[in-house]
C-alpha cells in the first residue's frame, strides 16, 4: 500500500514537471517567434475583443506576447459592466502601439457588446486622445467588431484595421457604412483536413468577404491548416505564428 502511494506520488510529480516543462517551452517558442520582428511605432491603439463567454484569460497570452518595446505596449484594460459603464485600469504610462483588452461583463450578446463598444471608444478618445484604432476579435469578438462597424451610432475614431480569428457571421447583413481606410484580415483555423477548428467551420468564416465587398479598402482571407494543438478554436490565440501575422498586419511599414 505504501509502495502504491509512493508510485502515485512520483507519477503526479512527473506529470506536473512534464506539464510545466511543456508550458515553459511553449512560452519560449512564442517569444522567439517575435524576437527579430520590428514594426513602426504609432498612436494607433489596438483593442482585443474576446469571444462568447471570454475574458482576460482568452486574450492574455496574445497581449502579453506582443507587449515588448519594439512591437506594442499593454498599458490599458477596459472593463465594461452589464449596464455598459466602463472602468479603466491603467497598468503603466501610455506609449505607442497601445494594446487594450476590452472585457465585457455581459459577454454572451455580441450585438449588445457592439453597442457598449461605442462608450469604450468614446472614452478612449476623450480621456486618452486616441483617434485611430484597430480591432482584433477572436470568435464572436470578430462578430462584435463587425456589428460595431454596421451600426449607426459610432464613436469619433477611425478604424484602421480589423483582424478576425476563428470568427463566423451568422445572419449578418451586408455592411451599410463605407470605410475606405479599413483593411481586414480574416483568419480561419482548419485542423488537418476536417474543414473546421473544432467549433467554427471554415465555410462560416468566408461569408465576411461578401458582407464587406465594396465597402472597405482591402480584405484578405487566410485558411490556416495544422494539427489540433495549433488550430483548435481556443488555441488559435495561443499560436505564435498567428501572433506574428497579426502584428505585421496591424502595424505595416509606412
**Whole-number Å distance between alpha carbons of 100 and 75:** 7
Q: Is residue 190 part of a domain?
A: yes
Q: Is residue 233 part of a domain?
A: yes
Q: Is residue 7 part of a domain?
A: no
- pLDDT category, 205, cuts 50, 70, 90? very high
Helix axes 140-149 and 110-128, enclosed angle (nearest 10):
70
Q: Is residue 235 part of a domain?
A: yes
* 2-11, 46-55, 91-100, 162-171: segment of lowest average pLDDT: 2-11
Q: Is residue 57 packed enough to be buried (19+ CB in 10 Å), middle (13-18) or exposed (0-12)?
A: exposed
Q: Is residue 76 part of a domain?
A: yes
**Are 103 and 14 spatial neighbours (Cβ–Cβ below 8 Å)?**
no
**Are 111 and 139 spatial neighbours (Cβ–Cβ below 8 Å)?**
no
**Whole-number Å distance between alpha carbons of 228 and 176:** 37
Average pLDDT, integer, range 209-221: 97
User: Which pTM was predicted?
Assistant: 0.88
**Whole-number Å distance between alpha carbons of 154 and 29:** 39
Q: Is residue 150 part of a domain?
A: yes
**pLDDT for 20 beyond 80:** no
Q: Is residue 156 part of a domain?
A: yes
Q: Is residue 51 part of a domain?
A: yes
**Whole-number Å distance between alpha carbons of 167 and 157:** 24
The CATH number for 56's domain is 3.40.50.1820
For residue 184 the three cell numbers come to 481586414
Range of the domain at 144: 37-250
Query: Which one, of 45, 146, 156, lies nearest residue 102 by Cα?
Result: 45
Count of structural domains within the chain: 1
Return the percent helix, strand and coil in the chain, to nearest 5.
Answer: 40, 25, 35
Helix residue spans in 129-251 (DSSP H): 140-149, 207-212, 228-231, 240-250
Amino acid at each position: 500500500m505504501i509502495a502504491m502511494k509512493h508510485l502515485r506520488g512520483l507519477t503526479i510529480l512527473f506529470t506536473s514537471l512534464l506539464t510545466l516543462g511543456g508550458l515553459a517551452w511553449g512560452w519560449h517558442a512564442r517569444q522567439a517567434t517575435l524576437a527579430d520582428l520590428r514594426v513602426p511605432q504609432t498612436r494607433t491603439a489596438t483593442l482585443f475583443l474576446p469571444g462568447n463567454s471570454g475574458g482576460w484569460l482568452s486574450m492574455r497570452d496574445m497581449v502579453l506576447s506582443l507587449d515588448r518595446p519594439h512591437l506594442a505596449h499593454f498599458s490599458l484594460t477596459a472593463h465594461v459592466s452589464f449596464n455598459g459603464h466602463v472602468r479603466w485600469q491603467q497598468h503603466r504610462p501610455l506609449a505607442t502601439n497601445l494594446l487594450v483588452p476590452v472585457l465585457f461583463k455581459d459577454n454572451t450578446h455580441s450585438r449588445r457588446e457592439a453597442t457598449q463598444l461605442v462608450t469604450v471608444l468614446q472614452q478612449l478618445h476623450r480621456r486618452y486622445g486616441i483617434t485611430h484604432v484597430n480591432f482584433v476579435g477572436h470568435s464572436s469578438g470578430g462578430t462584435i467588431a463587425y456589428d460595431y462597424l454596421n451600426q449607426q451610432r459610432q464613436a469619433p475614431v477611425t478604424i484602421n484595421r480589423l483582424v478576425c480569428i476563428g470568427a463566423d457571421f451568422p445572419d449578418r447583413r451586408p455592411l451599410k457604412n463605407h470605410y475606405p481606410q479599413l483593411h481586414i484580415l480574416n483568419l480561419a483555423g482548419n485542423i488537418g483536413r476536417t474543414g473546421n477548428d473544432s467549433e467554427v467551420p471554415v465555410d462560416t468564416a468566408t461569408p465576411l468577404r461578401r458582407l464587406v465587398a465594396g465597402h472597405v479598402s482591402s480584405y484578405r482571407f487566410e485558411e490556416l491548416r495544422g494539427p489540433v494543438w495549433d488550430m483548435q478554436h481556443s488555441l488559435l490565440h495561443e499560436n505564435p505564428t498567428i501572433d506574428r501575422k497579426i502584428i505585421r498586419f496591424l502595424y505595416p511599414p509606412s
